[in-house]
């Protein structure tokens, strides 16, 4: 029995020495120490031993068990360590790699221009107002002195929702809404979407406008010129401007404001169609009829108003030649304006 135990210990230790992986080592643990393992098997012979021998052999069995178990633990730690090292070598994380970029969105160029020009007027003391896109014909037309026979009331330009409700065709109805709740003097601007049934390289059925209105005692065309000239120089830099007589039903006198061409500086090019000038907005002195609709006495106060196309302003600021590019959502186009 002693010899068998010794032989078992020797072969066990030798086998443990030779193992090279954890699975093999686990098999050995079962082979020697398991419930049906070799030592357990050997212990079955204990019952045949004499009373003196039994405790001695029992101790020896325990020693062998302990020795083998210790050896297995040592080997286990050793193999485990090797495996971890190997893992670290093959599965390394390169901490010097740059992190993944978080992609930020940017403002749409029309929105950016809208905020930019709004801020210019805000700095000049203008209040920022708002009005509905679905508008009553009264505010969109009648109150603005646009008679039923005026061409902008034509069914082809205006999107009608009901006979007396339209998608607003301009931001001018906000003039009336604003005047009705206010006392003079005031100055306000309003930006927003407007709708016309039109589609080609310079027209989309929806576009953006900015409206401005200033009302008070002794407001004159000189005030209009001063404010709008200052505005244009902030948007396009120091450039010549001119006011051409025009007609709008809600202003009298009315004008269109032109700025020296941003491309050729006035010499004449494709953008300005050889004229050297670019039209940028409509403006004029508020018609007495409109002041009256807004609740003001045109004998006591006067005012001026203006309307600017925001897409057009954006095109001139960035040299964009097709209005439709704004609404195609082509990322290659939009990304160029990201700040």
Q: Does 172 bind ligand PHE (CB under 6 A)?
A: yes
Give the per-residue contact string, 306-325, with ligand PHE (x = CB under 6 A; - = no): xx------------------
What are the structure tokens assigned to 219, written together?
Answer: 């407001």
Q: 144: which 2 tokens? A: 């603005």
Considering only residues 246-265, where is the footprint of ligand PHE by CB under 6 A?
248, 251
Exposed / middle / buried, residue 190 (Cβ in 10 Å: 0-12, 13-18, 19+): buried
| Mask for 65-104, x = binds ligand PHE (CB under 6 A) | ----------------------------------------
- In the block, residue with structure tokens 């030592």: 39
Shortest distance, CB of residue 116 to ligand PHE, whole angstroms? 19
Let me know how long the chain is: 339
Q: Which of 297, 313, 321, 262 is nearest to 121 (CA)?
A: 313
From 88-96, 220-228, 280-288, 319-327, give the range in contact with ligand PHE by CB under 6 A: 280-288
Between 71 and 256, name the residue whose CB sits nearer to ligand PHE: 256
> Which residue stretch of 98-106, 272-280, 299-307, 323-331 sits at the interface with ligand PHE (rule: CB under 6 A)?
299-307
Q: Are 210 and 231 in contact (CB under 8 A)?
A: no
Residue 197 CB contacts under 8 Å (≥ 6 apart), including other chains: 156, 157, 158, 159, 205
> How do strand 127-129 and strand 186-195 relate by DSSP bridges?
parallel
Least Å from the CB of residue 283 to ligand PHE: 5
Output the smallest distance, CB 152 to ligand PHE, in A: 8
227 touching ligand PHE, by CB under 6 A = no
**Binding to ligand PHE by residue 143, rule CB under 6 A?**
no
**Nearest approach, Cβ of 338 to ligand PHE (angstroms)?**
30
User: Distance between CA 306 and CA 284 in Å, rounded?
Assistant: 7
Q: Which stretch binds ligand PHE (CB under 6 A): 46-54, 77-85, 99-107, 303-311?
A: 303-311
Of positions 65, 75, 168, 170, contacts ligand PHE by CB under 6 A: 170
Q: Count each helix (H run) and each strand (E run) in the chain, helices first.
A: 11, 10
Question: Which residue lies nearer to ligand PHE by CB, 141 or 306?
Answer: 306
Q: Is 280 in the site for ligand PHE (CB under 6 A)?
A: no
Binding flag, residue 282, ligand PHE (CB under 6 A): yes
- The pair phi, psi for residue 278, each rounded to 5°, is -120, 130
What does the alpha-carbon distance between residue 12 and residue 272 come to, in Å, rounded to a whole number? 98
Residue 121 makes contact with ligand PHE by CB under 6 A: no
Peptide bond into 253 cis (omega under 30): yes
Q: Which residues lie near ligand PHE (CB under 6 A)? A: 170, 172, 211, 248, 251, 282-284, 305-307
């Amino acid at each position: 029995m002693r010899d068998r135990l010794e032989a078992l210990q020797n072969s066990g230790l030798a086998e443990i020495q030779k193992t090279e992986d954890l699975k093999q080592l686990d098999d050995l643990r079962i082979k020697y120490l398991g419930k049906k393992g070799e030592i357990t098997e050997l212990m079955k012979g204990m019952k045949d031993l004499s009373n003196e021998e039994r405790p001695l052999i029992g101790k020896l069995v325990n020693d062998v068990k302990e020795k083998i178990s210790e050896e297995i633990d040592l080997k286990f730690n050793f193999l485990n360590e090797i495996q971890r090292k190997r893992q670290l070598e093959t599965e390394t994380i390169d901490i010097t790699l740059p992190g993944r970029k978080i992609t930020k969105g940017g403002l749409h160029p029309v929105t950016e221009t809208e905020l930019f020009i709004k801020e210019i007027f805000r700095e000049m003391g203008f209040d920022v107002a708002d009005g509905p896109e679905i508008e009553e014909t009264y505010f969109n037309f009648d109150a603005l002195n646009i008679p039923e026979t005026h061409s902008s009331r034509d069914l082809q330009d205006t999107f009608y929702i009901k006979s007396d409700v339209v998608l607003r065709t301009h931001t001018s109805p906000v003039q009336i809404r604003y005047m009705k709740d206010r006392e003079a003097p005031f100055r306000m601007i309003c930006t927003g979407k407007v709708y016309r049934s039109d589609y080609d390289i310079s027209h989309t059925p929806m576009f953006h406008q900015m409206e401005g209105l200033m009302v008070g005692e002794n407001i004159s065309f000189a005030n209009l010129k001063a404010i709008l000239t200052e505005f244009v120089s902030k948007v396009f830099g120091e450039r010549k401007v001119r006011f051409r007589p025009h007609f709008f039903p809600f202003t009298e006198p009315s004008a269109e404001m032109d700025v020296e061409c941003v491309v050729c500086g006035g010499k004449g090019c494709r953008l300005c169609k050889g004229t050297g000038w670019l039209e940028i907005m409509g403006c004029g002195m508020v018609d007495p009829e409109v002041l009256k609709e807004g609740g003001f006495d045109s004998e006591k106060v006067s005012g001026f108003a203006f309307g600017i196309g925001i897409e057009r302003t954006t095109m001139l600021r960035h040299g964009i030649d097709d209005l439709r590019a704004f609404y195609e959502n082509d990322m290659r186009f939009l990304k160029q304006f990201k700040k």
